[in-house]
Chain A
Amino acid sequence: MSDKIISIEDATKMITTGMTLMIGGFLAVGAPNTIVDVLLDCDIQDLTVIATTSTFADKGWGKLIAQRKVKKAIVSHIGTNTETIKQFNAGEIEVEFSSLGSLSDRIRAGGTGLGGILTRVGIGTLLEKDKQKVIVDGVEYLIETPLRADISIVRASTSDENGNLICRRSTRNFNTLMPYASDICIAEVPEIVKLGEMDTDFIHVQHTLVDYIVKV
């Protein structure tokens, strides 16, 4: 048995107050909701969370916001989580909005050794505030900085004992990208297969990027 396979308690113990997390998923679909639910009962606070959206107050990692365990969210959208909206309007949570494409390429930059990305997206909007601009071939671009996390928590449909991951259908979302951009990657999976049982041509996350596997 691979020593990457650990209990959900051992996984959540690694997550401590003040950490920056990346959490996979798209509106709580294809998301590590089982690990998140255990985190609700952990004594942690002041988390910074990087994710597609802040999901819902009662579904997905947005529950951590409802429990006031999150001091900052770096996301593209908060409109579906009534708690995030409420805390944001009251100045009780910091939200760094990043349009979804810039967010994804900031994560890619953080995970692939790049110093940032150049994009036209956000030019002329509030999102250009405090950001450097450069001109390339006469076109003005914003510099969007890289993002990294202490721990990424992702969800896959299947892992092998090594941590090769497959995310079925429309559940790849950020699960395939975030493992690059964190010091430690934890994957929750409902199924673990033996080495050799996966078609090596169709693996979405390579095992070298995955540190721990939690069977849920």
Chain B
Amino acid sequence: MMDKRSRIASRIAKEINKGDVVNLGIGIPLDVAKYVSADLGIIFHSENGFVNLEKAPDDMSIWDKDITNAGAAPASIGLGGAFFDLERSLCMMRGGHVNVCVLGGLQVDSTGSVANWIIPGKFTPGPGGSMEVMHGAKKVIIAMEHTSKGNLKVLDKCSFPVSAVGVVNILVTEYALFEFIDNKMILKEIASDITLDELKEITSANYMIADDLKINDVAVS
């Protein structure tokens, strides 16, 4: 059976379609690339300044040291890719030219708002470029664990400062997939190792249950 993070990342991979230009945030989102089939021709956008992001070569002696990803780690560029500066990169993100983004979250609420840049009083990392891509991308997917050390994260209203209001399209946790449609939060899928009642207990958000609710058999996923 997969661990929580792999469950989340592998499920999100199914939301990415042929030809999509995709930006992955750090953390669980980066793992999504592992589960996307190479023959779909997905184009990964690297916020620091290129498209056709690929992992660093296995043989690091041939790695070009001037190619790094948005975490400053070694990377490479695929055939047909292109480099640009940060202004162009963020214009692509805000302008809708990156059509799917997958980002981590501290909290998501039933209005489709997400908080992911401040833990009040503790840690204020800042937004980086995540706010731009949340406003620009046609499909905003949040990848996060359903709870954190017993604290609820899928809320009626975010208690942490939000990063953007009403922008989330899909939330995937290890137990559930929610879609936000016409200002409604809808439970579309639930994992087979949790009941609807148990899910409700760890979710303070108001959500509806889809008529065609799907149960994901996590034992075979």
Q: A104-B87, A126-B161, A170-B75 are in contact. List 10 more A-B contacts (CB 8 A).
A: A26-B48, A29-B72, A77-B128, A99-B127, A107-B87, A121-B94, A124-B162, A125-B165, A169-B50, A170-B66
**Stretch touching chain B among A14-22, A62-70, A174-182:** A174-182
The residue on B at minimum CB distance from A100 is B129
B positions within 8 Å CB-CB of A: 46-50, 64, 66-68, 70-72, 75, 77, 83-87, 90-91, 93-94, 113, 117-118, 122-132, 135, 161-165
A130 CA to B66 CA, complexed, in Å:
39
* 6 A-B contacts (beta carbon < 8 Å): A27-B48, A29-B72, A95-B124, A101-B93, A104-B90, A170-B67
For B131, B135, B164, the residue with the greatest tally of chain A CB atoms inside 10 Å of its CB is: B131
For B47, B49, B135, B165, the residue with the greatest tally of chain A CB atoms inside 10 Å of its CB is: B49
B49 touches A101 (CB 8 A): no
The residue on A at minimum CB distance from B84 is A172
Q: Is the interface of B mostly helix, strand, loop or mixed?
A: loop
A77 touches B48 (CB 8 A): no
Which bucket holds chain A's interface residue count? 35 or more
Q: Across the interface, which residues of A come within 8 angstroms of B132, CB to CB?
A: 99-102, 121
Say whether A134 faces chain B, with CB atoms less than 8 Å apart.
Answer: no
Q: Taking the nearest CB of chain A, how far is it from the CB of B199, in angstroms?
A: 28
For A30, A52, A97, A121, the residue with the greatest tally of chain B CB atoms inside 10 Å of its CB is: A121
B84, B86, B135: which contacts A52 (Cβ < 8 A)? B86
B87 touches A105 (CB 8 A): yes
B126 touches A75 (CB 8 A): yes
Q: Across the interface, which residues of A come within 8 angstroms of B163, CB to CB?
A: 125
